Structure 1
Amino acid sequence: MSRPATTHDLIGIGLGPFNLGLACLGHPLDDLDAVFLEAADGFSWHPGMMLPDATLQVPFLADLVTMADPTSPFSYLAFLKDVGRLYPFYIRESFYPLRREYDDYCRWAAERLDTVRWGERVVAVEHDGDAYVVRSATGRTWRGRHLALGTGTAPRMPFDVDGPALHSADYLSRKDDLLASGSVTVVGSGQSAAEVYADLLAEQEHHGFELTWVTRSPRFFPMEYTKLTLEMTSPEWSSYFQALPAPRRAEAQRGQAALSKGISSETINAIYDELYRREASGGVDTTLLTATEVTTARWDGERYTLDLRHTEQQATGALRTDSLVLATGYAPRVPEFLQPVRDRIRWDEQGRFLAGPTFAVDHADAEVFVQNAEEHTHGFVAPDLGMGAMRSSVILSQVLGREPYAVEKRIAFQEWGIPDRYRDQAAPPVEASPPLVEGRAQRHPLVEERAQRASRDQVSR
């Protein structure tokens, strides 16, 4: 295997918000040689859901860098100042940017980086005995000691479906087709389902289609956003979650839908107000079904038949609809290009990445890091934009052998688990999940080498 001339400290694969944040935080570090490869020709974040009035569900402080470095020139406030919108944002008095503004911000940041290589779709990752070799479809090759995988998630399809059904990820590109049909059914429980339903509801008066929203949740529940609950987006809660045995982590996740998959109360209230207005004006042709699961979707060439099961009554039924929108979320995916190095990576029993405390998934626990592919090990905070800067800080500290950005270890008032001072000393210790808590007494040789080099440089200064 021929070797590229340069061996980078870090190669990032994929450039969504998380790897983009890692690139921005790494940009000013003189002792970091990094490159980021992205298949697309430019940055684009969920274009199919870029609705005009949609906002982020996290404050602007959850940008690419601020929670790690508030002084960074890549902050959201720096973007607003650069484009002349800082004062309008201030006068608006809302912590929550428009989704379109956030997309513009990320594109602005990406264009200021010289470490990004656009149009480089990675097709293979190999290891030559000393470092990873990354090959793209263009024939170019890069070599690096560490990898950061930010390849994103794929639309989740909870049941087999054929025909012209679309995922909410493609909603805007096919909206005109929906408006021209006689009936539209939206399936889903979270913010995306609510936004699609609200947008179609606003169009219904002009186009006259029948509109149905089906959710298997027992109600249209709001995102839980109280302050003590928000403390769960913290390093110590994530550490607590990681230490739970895998079955208990899965059980805990099932009870946390309102923490990450709920609907903003503003969206719920706006939908109700529109339904009330329409009812007062003569009625509205819409149906909202809760606690109802779609088990199959059959396409006969003209319409869908959705088989329904009520989760509380255990009753079954069927719904006929011309068009189907699946707002059923996203799931991490394991890229095919990792096949040559699968033996270097830890996997759980379901074939998912088994990430350790530092987001590393390789057996050495120091070479391959994941961004937003660790929800099953680190909890619901994995896809949270507000935790991205902290995760990037941890990854950079592992790559460099030093902590370029302070990583908060404790920020919460509350405790998770029984504190040692209250623990019954006679009770057996809580069984932890070994792959997530062992092996950090010694650093990997690559990390140790960087740390020793940094220490020597500091002494020489």
Structure 2
Amino acid sequence: MTHREVHLLAIGAGPSNLALAVAIDETAPEDLARGTLLVERDDSVSWQRGMLLPEAQSQVSFLKDLVTLRNPKSRFSFINYLHSVGRLDDFINLGSFLPYRVELANYLQWAADSLSRVRVETSREVTSIEPRRTADGVVTGWLAHLADGETIGCRYLSVGMGRDPHVPEVFGGLRRDLLIHSTEYVPRIAAVPQDRPYRVAVVGGAQSAAEMFAAVQQDLPGCTPTMIMRSIGLNNYESSKFTNELYFPSFVDQFHAARPPARTQLLAEMHRSNYAGLAPGMLDTLYRQFYLDRLGGHRRLRMITMADVTGAVEDGGEVVLTLNDRMSGRTEELRVDLVLLGTGFVSAMPRMVRTLGDTLGLDSIQVTRHYRLVLDGPATGACYLQGVNEATHGIADSLLSVLAARSDEILQDLLAHRADVTPAAVIPALDTAPVPAPRSAESVPSIA
């Protein structure tokens, strides 16, 4: 077991923390930049790893990359990435603002590799975080525990690992090999043997469910897929240009200042612009699949609408789903070999953040306008939460749209906070030889 000290520890090397890393790498003072570390539990930097399907496109303009809306001249832009890998002409000729998802994932890895002062480490999983306090209770920083036993101490913390996948309680008793959430689809489906005609249930009525429904027909040739949803059917995203103005970074100020009832109305009305719809191209593709299936007389594809899954049990290697028809009230059983969940993410704060809040004695998790966790008492350290603040910062908070602007807001807040509290100790450089890990946060000297 070893221990290290850094100035800023960012948990998760996804778009949120990468945008912050780019802002720090470009503009932060030397000690902060050299003392910033991103840790990623996977073995590489990516984006929507489980849904990197070959033909899947982003629904967000390439101009909403890690940096362009903050610094259009930055070398970390998506355009510069295309130029550096020799594909700028091809992308321009494509005539689209929407890159392929795989392309964006490659861009994020390129950006991480291009950092000159900030460090990124992969295959480093943080299992827990605890506050560091002085004897009189002042929070001076944080101690992160990693899966390999190492601990990392920091004064500033940025949590950007996204929300926890939502697995409805009714599916909780199924064996892992019978159930795949969309966040794991690509690697998990590749491990499923293709030696029999699987009966597959796809649960959900939005983009991720639709993409899995289309993809599984190729990934498991000869399968019989059934799509199950609570809604009346599949719909397009609400994507008018007027609606999209609510995704502008400048709209965050208006949303944050709005009264709670107005925020609730805004989130409800914008639900179909992100969560409850499909991209027009995917909707057309699915309809054509159903049309051709009927035209050929196969009747292999099935869609069940207005249905709740009220039971899911294993029976002899099969999954027996109990479906309740919301119109008639009747129930039916559906036997399948595999369940794919396009059920999105838990709306609550991530489990790690909730646990940290309990350790801090917080009644609720709240952040300031600039994403800093609100603490009950005095603190010389700070924690920033990214991508989990829809309730206070709007529906764009978990999306790419505000990355560049948010990274600058967090950096400026961190610099202002740092200037208000003079550090009492010099932080060791990242390449300092590891020292034995302390037994607990109380035994770690303060870096505030």
TM class by shorter chain equals 0.7 to 0.9
Asked if structure 2 preserves the Cα contact closer than 8 Å seen for 1:178 and 1:323, the reply is no
Rounded to whole Å, the distance in 2 between the matches of 1:392 and 1:83 is 26
- Where in structure 2 are there 5+ consecutive unaligned residues? 135-139, 423-448
Asked if structure 2 preserves the Cα contact closer than 8 Å seen for 1:44 and 1:107, the reply is yes
* 1:222 match: 236
Letter in 1 for 2:374: D
1:360 paired with 2:372, answer: yes
Aligned residues: 398
User: SS state of the match for residue 155, structure 1?
Assistant: coil
* 1:54 match: 56
1:124 paired with 2:93, answer: no
User: SS state of the match for residue 332, structure 2?
Assistant: strand
Letter in 1 for 2:245: E
Rounded to whole Å, the distance in 2 between the matches of 1:183 and 1:89 is 39
* Cα distance change on mapping 1:225 and 1:297 into 2, 3 Å: same
Rounded to whole Å, the distance in 1 between the matches of 2:214 and 2:234 is 13
Asked if structure 1 preserves the Cα contact closer than 8 Å seen for 2:249 and 2:401, the reply is no
* 2:436 match: none
1:259 paired with 2:267, answer: no
Alignment match of 1:72 (pick from 69, 74, 78): 74
Alignment match of 2:296 (pick from 281, 285, 289): 281
Q: How does 1:383-394 map to 2 (within 5 A)?
A: 383-394=398-409
* 1:195 match: 211
Asked if structure 1 preserves the Cα contact closer than 8 Å seen for 2:50 and 2:186, the reply is yes
User: SS state of the match for residue 381, structure 1?
Assistant: helix
Asked if structure 2 preserves the Cα contact closer than 8 Å seen for 1:125 and 1:338, the reply is no
Asked if structure 2 preserves the Cα contact closer than 8 Å seen for 1:124 and 1:136, the reply is no
Moved over 6 A (4+): none
Per-residue deviation at 1:230? 0.4
Rounded to whole Å, the distance in 1 between the matches of 2:357 and 2:151 is 16
Alignment match of 1:15 (pick from 13, 21, 25): 13
User: SS state of the match for residue 175, structure 1?
Assistant: helix
* Cα distance change on mapping 1:26 and 1:313 into 2, 3 Å: farther
Rounded to whole Å, the distance in 2 between the matches of 1:155 and 1:336 is 13
Q: How does 1:13-412 map to 2 (within 5 A)?
A: 13-31=11-29, 32-33=32-33, 34-113=36-115, 114-122=118-126, 123-129=128-134, 130-161=140-171, 162-163=174-175, 164-175=178-189, 177=192, 180-202=196-218, 206-207=221-222, 209-235=223-249, 237-243=251-257, 249-250=263-264, 252-261=266-275, 262-331=277-346, 333-336=349-352, 339=355, 342=358, 344=360, 346-348=362-364, 353-363=365-375, 367-401=382-416
* Cα distance change on mapping 1:278 and 1:141 into 2, 3 Å: closer
Rounded to whole Å, the distance in 2 between the matches of 1:227 and 1:167 is 32
Q: String of CA shifts for 1:2-53, please: whole Å, max 9, x gaps.
A: 996x651x22112111111111121022413322222333213333221111
Identical positions, percent: 29
- Root mean square deviation, CA, Å: 2.8
Q: String of CA shifts for 1:363-392, please: whole Å, max 9, x gaps.
A: 269821111111233232121111111211
Q: String of CA shifts for 1:341-370, please: whole Å, max 9, x gaps.
A: 64547553xxxx322211112326982111
Letter in 2 for 1:147: L
- Where in structure 1 are there 5+ consecutive unaligned residues? 402-443, 451-461
* 1:408 match: none
Asked if structure 1 preserves the Cα contact closer than 8 Å seen for 2:59 and 2:98, the reply is yes
Per-residue deviation at 1:216? 1.1
Q: String of CA shifts for 1:291-335, please: whole Å, max 9, x gaps.
A: 222122122133222222333444433322222111111236535
Asked if structure 2 preserves the Cα contact closer than 8 Å seen for 1:14 and 1:37, the reply is yes
TM-score by length of 2: 0.80
User: SS state of the match for residue 27, structure 2?
Assistant: coil
Rounded to whole Å, the distance in 1 between the matches of 2:310 and 2:359 is 37
